[in-house]
Amino acid sequence: MRILVTGKDGQLAQSIHSITALYTAFDFIFKSSSELDITNYQLVAKEFKKNRIDYCINCAAYTAVDKAETDAEKAYNVNVVGVKNLANACAENEATLISVSTDFVFDGNSNKPYLEKDFTNPIGVYGKTKLEGEQLISKLLVKHFIIRTSWLYSEYGNNFMKTMLRLGRERDELSVIGDQIGSPTYAVDLAKAIMTFIEIKETNYGVYHFSNKGECSWYDFAKEIFAQSNIEIKLSKITTEDFPTAAKRPKYSVLNSSKIEKSLGIEIHFWKESLKQAILNLNEN
Ligand SMILES: NC(=O)c1ccc[n+]([C@@H]2O[C@H](COP(=O)([O-])OP(=O)(O)OC[C@H]3O[C@@H](n4cnc5c(N)ncnc54)[C@H](OP(=O)(O)O)[C@@H]3O)[C@@H](O)[C@H]2O)c1
């Protein structure tokens, strides 16, 4: 079984890379954006033919949410054209595509965790491009899993946890948004769930949600990061209005992950438990 992982230098691909030793029966091929630009169909098609790919885990994405508002063409190119290229290459080679998407496909006006079948209505360019990518995959390819996740963090790449730990060392006080609610998700937990689809040869294709259990605001998340790391800092809560950004963010983007738990037979950790593991791993590295 040969697995192609795109976006090698991103945090999710690095999280998958960190657990490959658990899956010795599989051959992994990791490709960075310079080694395999997913927006170039010729390159993608060649990669699939040359290496006889069985599964493609797409971790490549344009993820700069604010920048996407003024750089829509680039975001579209990666999140829509790139994803379309992977779906077409999978279809031609009878491979399965596992592509990662986002809670930002929802507008955040709900007050209960979003189900896979809930109405999508992205409020920014990033979410719109990710949704269009999802729609193309389901149109072009039967053998696909679209996994929506939220608030990813890990010991790899750039993310909220690492930014807070850095700011916690540099500053005595910090203000963090307290009126956006979501579920922090440890990228290594997501990586394991993705690998389970392959391990158990799941064939119930379609959209799945994966987030760590529980919900909180960015303020609560920051507070917990500092508490678990024994960092003393004066933390205050601000509102979305106090901290304007180029892109609007959903106010509430908690995902209901029951479907993936049932299908894969896994038990998802609560976010505070996974945060503990991430901080431990970060300190060990
Ligand atoms: N981060 C989050 O909080 C979050 C939340 C919900 C969903 N997601 C989704 O989760 C997935 C993984 O996110 P992540 O946090 O791992 O993102 P990330 O750290 O930003 O990594 C994305 C990777 O994609 C690569 N890439 C960009 N354009 C490419 C192209 N044309 N061809 C090949 N590779 C390209 C980037 O390479 P370069 O750096 O070289 O450009 C980067 O290494 C994405 O689909 C994202 O939309 C993320």
Structural domains of the chain sorted by starting position, each given as residue range(s) with its CATH number in brackets: 2-159+184-213+253-269 (3.40.50.720)
- Count other C-beta atoms under 10 Å from residue 91's C-beta: 15
**Which pLDDT score is estimated for 285?**
79
- Count other C-beta atoms under 10 Å from residue 51's C-beta: 15
Nearest protein CA to atom 10 of ligand 1, as residue: 100
217-228 pLDDT, tens digit per residue, is 999 999 999 999
**Which residues of the chain fall below pLDDT 70?**
none
| Dihedral sign for Cα atoms in the order 136, 151, 274, 6 | positive
Span from the CA of 271 to the centroid of ligand 1 (angstroms)? 21
**Which pLDDT score is estimated for 6?**
98
- Residue 143 in tokens: 């053998």
**Which pLDDT score is estimated for 233?**
97
Q: Which residues participate in catalysis according to the annotation?
A: 126
Instruction: State pTM to two decimals.
Output: 0.98
Ligand 1 pocket test: which of 8, 15, 33 has the largest number of ligand atoms within 8 Å of its C-beta?
A: 33
Q: Which residues line the pocket of ligand 1, CB cutoff 6 A?
A: 6-7, 9-12, 32-33, 36-39, 59-63, 78, 82, 100, 102-103, 130, 149-152, 157
**Which pLDDT score is estimated for 184?**
98
**Which pLDDT score is estimated for 219?**
98
Q: Which ligand 1 atom is at minimum distance from the Cα of 37?
A: 32
Ligand 1 pocket test: which of 6, 12, 47, 148 has the largest number of ligand atoms within 8 Å of its C-beta?
A: 12
